[in-house]
Amino acid sequence: MTDAQWSPAERVRGTGASVFTEMTELARRTGAVNLGQGVPELDSPRGLLDEVAAAVLAGHNQYPPAYGTAALREAVAGHQRRRYGLEYEPQGEVLVTTGATEALAASLLALCDPGDEVLAFDPCYDAYPAGARFAGARLVPVPLAEDGDRFVLDADALRAAVGPRTRVLLLNTPHNPTGKVFTEAELAAIAGLCREHDLTVVTDEVYEHLVYGTEAHRTIAALPGMRERTLTISSAGKTFNVTGWKVGWVCGPAHLVAAVAAAKQFLTYASGTPYQEALARALGGVEEWAAELRRTLQRNRDLLSDGLVRAGLRPYRAEAGYFVQADIRAWGHADGVRFCRELPTRAGVVAIPTSAFHLSPGAPSYLVRFSFCKREKSVLDAVEKLVNAV
Ligand SMILES: *Cc1c(COP(=O)(O)O)cnc(C)c1O
């Protein structure tokens, strides 16, 4: 068989080179300021780095238990109790994974049979449709609505998307790419629908510590009748600026977590022993660290949002996370992909078209995502270039 005849399996077809790869390569080639991918340029807690080095040298280098080290499982359970008043048994209700990415994939593999449907709000993180596809399931996008400079739940669209094959609602709050934090009322509406239709919720909360201003992160598992049907996923990557470590975790009732562990055991079995040892200690002091990180990120968000206004690229409100959405139509563009391909030469800046996260056929094409998890200088440089390019 020749290369030309060969074709990969259906489940990976078309998931190869993405617009992320293209834009990262464009940034490298043109030397543009890269506000594309959400890779932090910010420091990690020094004590945490020292702890990893010490754990490696102390010999914590072999397989940890399949569910994760006891110390990290206990630290995660303590974190959920202190922050959200939720009790999880460290033995059986907490599973450590290779990043949130593996927790998501293993959850979908554990919960979906071929032909099942998974609901997710659109736009959504690109691992969601891929994970559903690996499980033989179909991701059904539920568009978020625009309300001024915010994105909001469209409860009617959500209700209309539920069908006889719907098994899972995949929630992401704080939300990537929009920076939306789901409100108490929105979560109550979602929870009501999940109870009514007996859906399992998988909630991706990797930005749980990165909420700015007055809106607060709430976890849907804390709502009445939800703990028993919810898998809550988070990760160290975004909270501690250690995206290369790939340590995540999932909490939930033992029968759901056991199913996820059954899938996870044959994806990676386990990983990251020294990182787990170090993170177990760091998680106890996360509130202090996260308060400082939020100050840095919020300043960057404000600099970027103000700069986008001055450049005539109308920003949406980023309540949380790493990203600001902008409306590019004032620059005479309606197509975010073309805009992002031209932006490095026009302005010396790289961004990502939000269409890379959109699955609904009628989704807006005029949105572009800029990341601000960067050094302040990178954000200021990008702003200056955008303003001068007008
Ligand atoms: C970054 C990100 C992840 C991946 O987390 P890892 O711990 O690096 O696997 C998952 N979900 C969302 C929404 C993210 O932004």
pLDDT tens sequence across 208-246? 999 998 889 999 999 999 999 999 999 999 999 999 999
Instruction: For residue 326, tell me if it sits in a domain.
Output: yes
- Chosen domain end from 250, 285, 320: 285
Q: Is 276 in the pocket of ligand 1 (CB under 6 A)?
A: no
Question: What CATH code is carried by the domain that includes residue 148?
Answer: 3.40.640.10
249 lines ligand 1 (CB under 6 A): no
Burial 377-387 (b: 16+ CB within 10 A, else e): ebbbbbbbbbb
User: How far is ligand 1, taken at its centre, from the CA of residue 373, in Å?
Assistant: 14
Same domain, 40 and 188: no
User: Is the minimum distance from the CB of 173 to ligand 1 under 6 angstroms?
Assistant: no
pLDDT value for 1: 59
Distance 125 CA to ligand 1 centre (A): 8
Confidence at residue 361, expressed as pLDDT on a 0 to 100 scale: 87
- Whether residue 7 lies inside any domain: the answer is no
Asked whether residue 321 is domain-assigned, the answer is yes
- Determine, yes or no, domain membership for 9: no
Decide whether any atom of ligand 1 lies within 6 Å of the 248 Cβ: yes
Give the tens place of pLDDT for each residue, 180-200: 999 999 999 999 999 999 999
Residue nearest to atom 13 of ligand 1 (CA): 176
- Identify the domain boundary among 285, 305, 339: 285
The CATH number that applies at residue 39 is 3.90.1150.10
Per-residue confidence (pLDDT) for residue 152, from 0 to 100: 98
- Clarify whether residues 295 and 372 are in a common domain: yes
Q: Is residue 202 part of a domain?
A: yes
Task: Identify whether residues 262 and 325 lie together within a single domain.
Answer: no
Q: Is 172 in the pocket of ligand 1 (CB under 6 A)?
A: yes
**Same domain for 351 and 320?**
yes
Q: pLDDT (tens digit, 9 = 90+) per residue, 270-289?
A: 999 999 999 999 999 999 99
In a domain, residue 261? The reply is yes
320 and 202 within one domain: no
Between the CA of 246 and the centroid of ligand 1 the distance, in Å, is 9
Q: Which domain holds residue 317?
A: 16-44+288-388
What are the b/e assignments for 163-187, b being 16+ CB within 10 Å? Answer: eeebbbbbbbbbbbbbbbbbbeebb
pLDDT confidence of residue 110: 98
CA of 237 to the centre of ligand 1 (A): 7
The distance between the two most distant Cα atoms of the chain, rounded to a whole number of Å, is 60
Q: Which of 285, 319, 350 is the last residue of a domain?
A: 285
Does any ligand 1 atom lie closer than 6 A to the CB of residue 203? no
Residue 365 Cβ inside 6 Å of ligand 1? The answer reads no
One domain for residues 244 and 329: no
- Residue 139's region, left for phi above 0, alpha for psi from -120 to 50, else beta, is beta
CA of 233 to the centre of ligand 1 (A): 10
Residue 80 Cβ < 6 Å to ligand 1? no
Task: Point out the residues of the chain with pLDDT beneath 70.
Answer: 1, 16
Pair 171, 134 in one domain = yes
Strands (E), 329-377: 349-350, 352-353, 367-371
